[in-house]
Structure 1
């Protein structure tokens, strides 16, 4: 037998399912219809090009396409209208003969001019007479003309200043500076004006010598000026050293150390030379006198010592007969003999 509580539980199940279904339906987001948009192709065009304002997310039951110049759907600004059912196009008051509405509702521009720049609006009417509207914009540019460049001085000396100016009559341009055919790197010495038309270098250095150009451009074209040569002369009164203080201090210390080393070497050589001369004088002073009467032999115990030469003088009196009369001392003949004795 089933418990009594089983029957009530079975009766509650359908009601819970209905409540869950209702909750999901309440939370489910409603279907959102894709918004009508306009895409200009290209958004920036040069004079003489063709432009298409492409329509996206058109309603499937569209019946009438109407294009207007401007942000409002005023009849006086209507370019053309196109019927989807009859495939017929009806020109409007603002039609110039160069605008065509395509079957998908896009607007085709032929041979655009600068005056065609602006906003365009598409209004779509479906079979239920519901209207959808969207706008798009494109811009037409003239090709830029060649700019010219002018300098305050083309030959300057180091530490002076120079100003370069780029001249152009084209509107809506961007200016870029070139140095030796490369984009000019900006430093603390180079400054550009707000619109980049003026380049100032202060102070100039010799590495600033070279060719300068300015380039003007817009979204559809660009042109470079003729090169201008800037010459920077050397200024002998100015130091052109780019060494850091630490490098300069290192060089000074190295020079001082080198001078001290050379001085020490010179002193060593001088001391050695003077010491050798003193030793030679000592050897000379120790030689025995030439007038010594007794020979003296010196023993040399040190090996490899230099030979020492001594001179000894001997005096002999001439022999006389015994019986002869004494001869005065002053008349005695003497003879001096020098002998050389080597000590080893």
Structure 2
């Protein structure tokens, strides 16, 4: 009978390790007696989705279920033991449902590959292998660069070395190809530009291809450093000169102003009387 994943939480860590070790020793002397046909291949998943690997339901009398990473039931690749305990291959994102199916939360490209389920039944031991395909997110995979890049822009002086490196882990191991402005530039996980020249300025992308599909890195554009221009002092704005009077002219203007006003008033009044 399988123990739920959360069961036995009161046991000490040493007790759980002892129980898992005993389970492995009891389980691995005998290999699976026969293989079950794989179920229909799963549709490719996008990073961040949940994967569900079902247990073959055509069997009756299933006593225990265990899961492994890869095509073989190897102790170091065990995800869940027959007793439902996490094994060395458990990443913390795997759980079992009530039927013993494997659920992987928030899959990444590192989760792509094969998974083997081993069933202990009343008629013997059976096994089956499932495949997970994971597509990279639309943004692509990040590249490790030297010098570092900011938002996909790498700036370097001419004649200095520039290194671009693919760091994502994908199974099966992919073939890596580099492109420069859309044209082939090299192969391998690392692209090294020994002495940067004007002809090397542009956009680089790494393509990773294996039997599961193709993965594309985020583009990195190599550019020269920005030229820093010292700010210039603003040109002062010349105001139009204003008319100013002082001394004698100012006094004459003050005295003349009332005379002008009185004269204008007398002239206006005289003109109206004549018209009447």
TM-score bucket (shorter structure)? 0.3 to 0.5
Structure 2 length normalisation: TM-score? 0.40
Rg: which structure is higher?
1
- Pick 1 or 2: higher relative contact order, CA cutoff 8 A, min separation 6: 2
